[in-house]
């Protein structure tokens, strides 16, 4: 289990992650929809995730959502440096009319391709913050991640399918492997 804390003028985050877990989670960010997505992520990845996060959500959710992405990415990077893994994973997940594909490479390189046609808000949560979350996560996890919406029109379904898909892709990539899958013999 990896524990990370981040305290800034705008946020205070305590996070624990175990990628060899059993989908146990305790998540409190003060943002209901975001909690739901992180709980979904934990449940579908099999990762244990504990997050207690506060921030200036009376101003905007941006700082808190991005900083949770940063801390989760840092913890994921630390967790994946403890062993050798399969490295690659992909998943295509439906949720009613929505269909989302994701693919990941634990490459120690940073790249996010986010291609979901969603905008607006869910309650008072700006949908554009989902891409900011994934960008912060990918940058700090040091992974390559592609997320592509293949179908759908309901914002909630598309976003939730994306979290489920990424969770399954990461779960697949984190299967232990005895060799480093790279011609360089290092990642």
* Domains located in the chain, CATH noted: 2-173 (3.30.230.40)
Average pLDDT over residues 37-61: 96
Residue-level pLDDT at 177: 73
Compute the mean pLDDT over every residue in the chain, rounded to the nearest whole number: 93
Q: Is the pLDDT of residue 173 over 70?
A: yes
Distance CA 155, CA 98 (A): 9
Q: Is the pLDDT of residue 131 over 60?
A: yes
Query: Given the structure tokens 């403890």, which residue do they identify?
Result: 82
Report the candidate in 57, 47, 54 with the shortest Cα–Cα distance to residue 29.
54
Q: Which two tokens stand for residue 138?
A: 């990918």
Distance CA 183, CA 181 (A): 7
Average pLDDT over residues 61-87: 92
Residue-level pLDDT at 85: 77
Give the three-state DSSP class for 40: helix
Q: Is the pLDDT of residue 174 over 70?
A: yes
**Confidence at 183, pLDDT banded by 50, 70, 90:** low
Q: Is the pLDDT of residue 186 over 80?
A: no
Taking CB atoms within 8 Å and a gap of at least 24, the contacts of 112-115 are 112/138, 112/139, 112/144, 112/145, 112/146, 112/147, 113/145, 113/146, 113/147, 113/148, 114/147, 115/146, 115/147, 115/148, 115/149
Q: Is the pLDDT of residue 184 over 90?
A: no
Residue-level pLDDT at 84: 77
Q: Which residues touch 46 (CB under 8 Å, ≥6 apart)?
A: 19, 21, 22, 23, 171
Phi, psi of 123 (to 5 degrees): 55, -115
Distance CA 32, CA 123 (A): 10
Distance CA 42, CA 168 (A): 10
89-118 pLDDT, tens digit each: 999 999 999 999 999 999 889 999 999 999
Q: Is the pLDDT of residue 185 over 90?
A: no
pTM over cut 0.85: yes
Q: Which two tokens stand for residue 124?
A: 């008072």
Q: Which two tokens stand for residue 106?
A: 């634990």
Pairing of β 25-28 and β 48-55: parallel
12-22 pLDDT, tens digit each: 999 999 999 99
Q: Is the pLDDT of residue 180 over 80?
A: no
């Amino acid at each position: 289990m990896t524990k990370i804390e981040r305290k800034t003028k705008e946020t205070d985050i305590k996070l624990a992650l175990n990628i060899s877990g059993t989908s146990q989670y305790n998540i409190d960010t003060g943002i209901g929809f975001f909690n739901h997505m992180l709980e979904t992520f934990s449940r579908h990845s099999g990762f244990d995730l504990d997050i207690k996060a506060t921030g200036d959500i009376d101003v905007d959710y941006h700082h808190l959502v991005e900083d949770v992405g940063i801390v989760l990415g840092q913890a994921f990077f630390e967790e994946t440096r403890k062993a050798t893994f399969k490295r690659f994973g992909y998943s295509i997940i439906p949720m009613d009319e929505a269909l989302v594909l994701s693919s990941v490479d634990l490459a120690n390189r940073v790249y996010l391709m986010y291609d979901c046609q969603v905008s607006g808000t869910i309650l008072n949560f700006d949908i554009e913050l989902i891409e900011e979350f994934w960008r912060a996560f990918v940058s700090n996890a040091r992974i390559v991640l592609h997320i592509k919406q293949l179908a759908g029109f309901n914002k909630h379904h598309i976003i939730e399918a994306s979290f489920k898909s990424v969770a399954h892709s990461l779960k697949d990539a984190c299967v232990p492997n005895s060799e480093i899958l790279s011609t360089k013999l290092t990642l």
